[in-house]
Amino acid sequence: MNKRITEEVNANTENIDEMNALEIATMMWKEDQSIYHGIDSCLSDIAKAIDMIVDRWQQGGRVFVVGAGTSGRIGVLDAAELGPTFSVKANRWMAFLAGGHEATWKPLEQHEDNSEDIVKSLKEHELKTVDAVIGMSASGSTPYSVAALTYGKEVGAATISISCNTGTVSGDISDVNIEAIVGPEVIRGSTRLKAGTAQKMILNTISTGVMIRLGKVYKNEMIEMQLMNHKLKHRAEATLMKLADVDEQQATYLMELTDHHLKKALFIALTNASLEESTFYLNKTNGHLKQAIQLFYEP
Which sequence positions are flagged as catalytic? 81, 112
Task: Categorise residue 219: left if φ over 0, alpha if ψ from -120 to 50, beta otherwise.
Answer: left
- Please say whether the beta carbons of 178 and 205 come within 8 A: no
Nearest residue to 219 via CA among 201, 238, 242, 251:
242
Let me know if 27 is exposed, middle or buried by CB neighbors in 10 A (0-12, 13-18, 19+). middle
How far from 248 is each of 233, 236, 238, 239, 244, CA to CA, in Å? Answer: 12, 11, 8, 11, 11
Can you tell me the distance from the alpha carbon of 82 to that of 218, in angstroms, rounded to the nearest whole number?
16
**Residue 136 — φ and ψ, nearest 5°?**
-115, 130
As a residue count, the chain comes to 299
Can you tell me the distance from the alpha carbon of 217 to that of 220, in angstroms, rounded to the nearest whole number?
6
Can you tell me the distance from the alpha carbon of 68 to that of 147, in angstroms, rounded to the nearest whole number?
12
Residue type, 97: L
H or E segment to which residue 218 belongs: strand 217-218
